Structure 1
Amino acid sequence: MNIQRAQDIYASKEMISVHLDGKPVWIEHVDVDNGMATVQLGSSPTNTHTVGVERLEEQGH
């Protein structure tokens, strides 16, 4: 995924399925300057990771 698409998904009111290493995640924050995104894994709000947006995959596209 590219940084622009990550921003679009983060800003969207729609529920867009995004996966990291085959696991569903929620985008919590996008760091445009560094090409990174903070994502929440599963349903635990404390289970977050910051990863390069290129590791994120939009499902259904």
Structure 2
Amino acid sequence: MDMERAKEILNSPEKIEVKYRGTPVWIEMIDETAEKAQVHSENNPDDVKIVPVWDLDDRK
């Protein structure tokens, strides 16, 4: 995923399915300078990771 799409998803009022390496996640915040996103597992909000934005996928 590119940075612009990640920001669109983060700011969207709708739920948009995003996966990180096949696991559904929520984007919590984006660091544009580092091109990283803070995400947490959809099933476990305590499972927080910092991941490269380009490793996120919103394709069905």
Relative to the length of structure 2, the TM-score reads 0.91
The offset of 1:33, in angstroms, is: 1.0
Matched, 1:21 2:21: yes
Unaligned runs of 5+ in 2: none
**How large is the Cα RMSD of the aligned pairs?**
1.0
Aligned counterpart, 2:51: 51
- TM-score, normalised on structure 1? 0.90
User: What runs of 5+ residues in structure 1 fail to find an aligned partner?
Assistant: none
Q: In structure 2, what is the equivalent of residue 3 of structure 1?
A: 3
| Same amino acid, percent of matched pairs | 35
- Give the letter aligned to residue 18 of structure 1: V
**Count of residues paired in the alignment:** 60
Distance in structure 2 (CA, Å) of the matches to 1:40 and 1:18: 11
